[in-house]
Amino acid sequence: MFKYAIALLFSVSVLNAQNSVNQEPADVQVGDVFEIGKPEANSYKHIDFPRANFIIKRGGIANYKRLEGNRVVVTSIKEKKDGTTQVKIKRKDGGRFFGSHTVVAADFKDALKSGELQAM
């Protein structure tokens, strides 16, 4: 009887785990346009811009203040295992961020909440 109870509990837990895997899709699509806003602190927390030394090594100028107001386009969307939505963004005008990087990643929901990304 004890074996049947363990088998029943195991099967119920497997079924519940399968239900939690099917999450609703993100409300962002490839091609959506956003604007980069001002960060809450001195640096961007939810948009993964490279550090200044990497920008300088690739021949760019590390000026984070010039990013405000740039329009960006979502190029790809990835749902991570922890439930967050990571998007890759590029500039709408086709330029490079800091003159060195074409695409950067961002945590979509947290960037929207903090105001780093603003819907157009």
Share of the chain above pLDDT 70, in %: 90
In this predicted model, which residue has the larger pLDDT, 22 or 61? 61
How far is C-alpha 108 from the geometric centre of its chain's CA atoms? Answer: 4
Half-sphere exposure for 28 (CA within 13 Å, toward CB): 28
What is the value of pTM for the model shown?
A: 0.71
Q: What is the mean pLDDT of residues 90-99?
A: 93
Indicate the helix (H) or strand (E) that contains 77. Answer: strand 71-79
What tens digit of pLDDT does each residue of 13-53 get? 776 766 544 444 448 889 999 999 988 888 899 999 999 99
What's the confidence (pLDDT) of residue 71? 95
How far is C-alpha 11 from the geometric centre of its chain's CA atoms? Answer: 35
What is the C-alpha separation between 62 and 55, in angstroms, rounded?
6
Rg (CA), the chain: 20
